Amino acid sequence: MLRLTSFLLLLFIFSNVFCACPNGAYEWQTNCYYFQKNGTDFPEAETNCIGMGGHLASIHDGFTNALITGHADNIFTSLLKRDFWIGLSNIKTSKKLSWIDGSKLDYTDWDKNEPNNATGIKCTSMILKT
């Protein structure tokens, strides 16, 4: 399976009422966002997230999108490749994109012709613009 060469990975962790975000994570609303720098493929990235109690990030509004990309830009500013996995794929349903956590696909403010499935692997990464 294709590996994300940039070694950027965005992990999303649900922060329940009695749980705190792990060290190094960013909290927004009831969620924790954790950025892991080691490279991995999409299934392994999701497995890592599940192991931490969550899923790859689901984006439901422009503010969350800006928050995630802003933190990613700060964390990965010195790296040459600047892309990372999010939880949007069509692995579960072969025809339609959906969030891996089962939440509604209600935010679609992507660049023109995106997501485009250019790699054919049915998974979505975000690319930070330079």
Look at the alpha carbons of 47, 50, 28, 101 in this order and tell me if their dihedral is positive or negative: positive
Residue 7 confidence (pLDDT): 37
Please, which pLDDT band fits residue 59 given cuts at 50, 70 and 90?
very high
Within 10 Å of residue 115's Cβ, how many Cβ atoms?
17
Residue 15 confidence (pLDDT): 39
Give the Cα-Cα-Cα angle 105, 111, 113 (nearest 5 degrees).
85
What is the pTM (predicted TM-score) of this model? 0.78
Domain ranges of the chain: 9-127
Q: Residue 69 belongs to what H/E stretch?
A: helix 62-75
Mention the CATH class of domain 9-127.
alpha beta
Please, which pLDDT band fits residue 26 given cuts at 50, 70 and 90?
confident
Residue 119 confidence (pLDDT): 66
The DSSP code for 93 is: S
Are 4 and 49 contacting, i.e. CB atoms less than 8 angstroms apart? no
